[in-house]
Structure 1
């Protein structure tokens, strides 16, 4: 990274020229112009000499290191003490329940969204003394993705739990209705057996009525066809 910064500073220094002075050639004597150009070259050399370029490069590297350190501190502050392998156990469902010390899923996803996206631009620019920072950044990136995926999984799971809870409520209401109609000596298994027998008996009676209606002489052919189709559907 230092070499890239040094090349950029050197290139930027080379962009400065004394071309504007040459425009004064027709306005001032040539001797004055040469003296002025010499002074400009001297100042330019003093301003952009290698020692000063090195100082600029060092300052840029220091700024970059400070920025990276601030980002790592920000990462540490935002992640806090979230347990990596037990995320979800501390989550609470109701964001408005201030008495619940758990962390809401909505707040967690908001905090994760605020985490900065940091990555390595090129592995070729990684120096030996940066390997530890690279490991930290990779670990952070993996942790961020893992948190996002787990939050999405928890949100999806909450939706499925709600759907399942609705189905369970219907089953509970059905069981409550059945219990209200149970005889004192019956259990639910006995009730279903009795209920199944009653349904079969009613279907048999209904089938006999259909057969009588079909055999009647005053029944039209279309009505007979419809009644026969109905018998096929209710036959047991």
Structure 2
């Protein structure tokens, strides 16, 4: 995936995930969560620490933003470079099923280690922390987050449900419907390209027999429906 594409489309977690592995009696429990900024990342680390107060290490890594420029990691007492960095590499190199390149972002990984009494050595720690994150990613579910043009479509209350169903059937992203006193307002999200917007306008005109008028509600990031 090119840098240009990454700036308009990237992968995110659909829900939190966790996975545990055991290596030479040490337990490595990886928790994955979606975060929008560094403050949310720190809050999540705090939650995991509170749940696992007796664990020796709570190592972290996260990547944030459409351009994936915000990247942080922390070894939390493990030898330098043996935990946080391998975790971060597991996040940034992960390719979602069906994608051709790594694009995961807005994601934090926290790996909790309960020491089992056997030293793993630097290489063993690198593999353990990397595998903990990679295996957690392997059981996680994902969505695509894309920069989209938002459109509004007023609809008579009696027609709103049918219009929404037919638009979805035509693979147009309907992100919600607001029922107001006079009309229902369908909120649509389409790829922010002139040709795509024109195609949607033609579909709406045919669906509504020329009665529907699309409004421009600006641009926003939208999680696409699977």
Which has a greater percent of helix?
A: 1
Q: Which has the larger radius of gyration?
A: 1
Query: Would you call these one fold, judging by a TM-score over 0.5?
Result: no
- Shorter chain as normaliser: what TM range? under 0.3
- Greater length-normalized contact order (CA 8 Å, ≥ 6 residues apart): 2
Structure (1/2) with the larger strand percentage: 2
TM-score by length of 2: 0.25
